[in-house]
Amino acid sequence: GAVVSQHPSRVICKSGTSVKIECRSLDFQATTMFWYRQFPKQSLMLMATSNEGSKATYEQGVEKDKFLINHASLTLSTLTVTSAHPEDSSFYICSARDSGHYGYTFGSGTRLTVV
């Protein structure tokens, strides 16, 4: 089946630094990937849609200069949290849709803690 690998699973960084999260589709090509953020005891909130070879589409209220998304190939999308602050601490999850699979395959998520 379709597999999405997300790395790292956990990261702790200092306030003011940047963190990159990778999302890879392992056995299929994903022209579109999605990045979500999950707050404790809350649902997943879509942050942005990442399109291969073009600029990401950000949801209302999401700072595109803070959450940089790059989708340079059909199997890799990255989310960079720039100048991280403690309020950016959260669980970030990516997903991708295989053209032959009606549904979405999710990565295992990244727990970001900014100290």
Partner 1 sequence: GNSVTQMEGPVTLSEEAFLTINCTYTATGYPSLFWYVQYPGEGLQLLLKATKADDKGSNKGFEATYRKETTSFHLEKGSVQVSDSAVYFCALSERSGGYQKVTFGTGTKLQVIP
Which residues make up the interface to partner 1 (CB under 8 A)?
A: 6, 32, 34, 41-44, 46, 49, 57, 93, 95, 97, 102-109
Q: 46: which 2 tokens?
A: 């879509």
Q: For partner 1, which is the closer residue by CB, 58 or 82?
A: 58
The CB-of-16 to partner 1 minimum distance in angstroms stands at 27
The CB-of-106 to partner 1 minimum distance in angstroms stands at 4
Q: For partner 1, which is the closer residue by CB, 38 or 80?
A: 38
